[in-house]
Structure 1
Amino acid sequence: MNPVWKFYLARLALVAVVAVPLMFFINALLALAAGILVSMVLGYVLLKRQREEMIEHIDATVKRRRDEKQRLRAELAGDDAA
């Protein structure tokens, strides 16, 4: 599974774990806001590994696209130094 999806699904699950129990005691919108705020703090600590995997995945994708772009530009310029 894509690390970006894993991170955001884990983040969504963290919001749900915090917000759903609060909905029994306070307004749903307020519970959701509290869930988002608390999950930001907890996510920073609990989702560190997933966040780092996501960053590595994005960096690898950017590097691959940059290399592909350079290769295509070299081909268009007539350079065959591959």
Structure 2
Amino acid sequence: MSAAVKYTLGRIGLFVVVVLALWPVEVNIFLKLMLALVFSAAASFFLLRGWRDEMAEDLAVAAERRRAEKERLRAALAGDDQPAGEEPGDQPRA
């Protein structure tokens, strides 16, 4: 399971737990949901740190891979790269 999925499910799970804990409290449902959102966000900051760091690392690796691929494609479009096995001075084969 990817780190993003684990972290997202963890955030949703914390929200549900806090909503269920606030359910017996006699206040407006909108206020309960807002409180649950704030409390679950604060709790996830501490409780889900490992999954958040893992997700951030995965996102950084993916961003670097996209950046490298973009640079490779730009170089190919500019004619800067050569196919494997050919030297820059070689004539194309007919």
User: Normalization by structure 1: what TM-score?
Assistant: 0.89
* CA shift for structure 1 position 24: 2.2
Distance 2:25 2:68 in 1: 54
Q: Give the residue type in structure 2 aligned to 1:24.
A: P
- Structure 1: gaps of 5 or more residues: none
1:3 counterpart residue number: 3
Identity fraction in percent: 40
Q: Which residue number corresponds to residue 78 of structure 1?
A: 79
Shift of residue 28, structure 1, vs aligned partner: 2.3
Bigger Rg, which one: 2
After superposition, residues 12-51 of structure 1 pair within 5 angstroms as 12-26=12-26, 27-51=28-52
Q: Which of the pair is proportionally richer in helix?
A: 1
**4+ long deviations beyond 3 Å:** none
For structure 2, which runs of at least 5 residues remain unmatched after alignment?
A: 85-94
> RMSD value over aligned CA atoms?
1.5
- The residue correspondences of 1:59-74 to structure 2 (distance < 5 A) are 59-74=60-75
CA distance in 1, matches of 2:65, 2:35: 39
Give the count of matched residue pairs: 82
Cα distance, 1:70 vs structure 2: 0.4
